[in-house]
Each structure stands twice: as structure tokens, then as C-alpha cells.
Amino acid sequence: AQKVTQAQTEISVVEKEDVTLDCVYETRDTTYYLFWYKQPPSGELVFLIRRNSFDEQNEISGRYSWNFQKSTSSFNFTITASQVVDSAVYFCALRFRSGGGADGLTFGKGTHLIIQP
């Protein structure tokens, strides 16, 4: 069975602070894919990044960066110089690859990020 744990239920920071959202996953598969999604109050899940298990390079996209470490089964997400518009619920998700076709995404419980002005 696979599992995604986002231990931080809610984080509140003041605008312009850096913030890191933690994600720890469990899977027995050697090939798998990790995702981060953002869910604003409107409800839609907005795709942020996909990373496969073979690619451990960290990625930076503007103020966003991701640190993938297979040794600790973690895929953490950092927002630099946070802004009020970053306020949302962030989900980490895991999808594995199987011979007969992959299963759906397994999501963590989400981290509610509040950026105060």
C-alpha cells in the first residue's frame, strides 16, 4: 500500500517569509511519480509539479522550489518570499506504475498555508 503524509495541517506566516511544506511518502514500487497541487478557495486543484522516481534533481520555478530525496522518501516544497496570493491548501500526491495500468493518485491530507499581509 502506498501512503502520503503531510504532517503540517496548517502553517501561518507573514508575507515575504520563506515557508517549506513537508511531504513524506511510502511506496514499494521502484517507479513512481510525485505531484504537488494547489487548491485555492475556488476548489480547483492547480498542478504545480510532477517528478518521477528516477529524477532526483531539485527544481526551481520562480519563487517555488522542490527538494526530492529518495533516501528519506521526501518531496518538500518551498515558497520563497511568500505572497498573500500563495494562501491555499497544498497537496502532495503519489502515483505508482504497475504492469496492468496505474492506480489513481494517492493524496496527502493537505497543508493549509495562510500568508498574512
Partner 1 sequence: KAGVTQTPRYLIKTRGQQVTLSCSPISGHRSVSWYQQTPGQGLQFLFEYFSETQRNKGNFPGRFSGRQFSNSRSEMNVSTLELGDSALYLCASSWTQGQGSGYTFGSGTRLTVV
Binding residues for partner 1 (CB under 8 A): 33, 35, 37, 42-47, 50, 52, 91, 93, 95, 97, 101-110
C-beta closer to partner 1: residue 27 or 82:
27
CB 89 to partner 1: min, Å: 10
C-beta closer to partner 1: residue 104 or 117:
104
- Cα–Cα distance between 20 and 66 in angstroms, integer? 9
Q: What are the cell numbers at 50?
A: 510532477
Cβ contacts of 89 within 8 Å, gap of 6 or more: 38, 39, 110, 111, 112, 113
CA angle 79, 83, 85 (to 5 degrees): 105
C-beta closer to partner 1: residue 19 or 96:
96
CB 56 to partner 1: min, Å: 15
CB 81 to partner 1: min, Å: 27
CB 17 to partner 1: min, Å: 27
Distance between the two ends of the chain, CA-based, in angstroms? 41
Q: What is the largest CA-CA distance in the chain?
A: 49
Neighbouring-strand partners of residue 49: 36
C-beta closer to partner 1: residue 46 or 81:
46
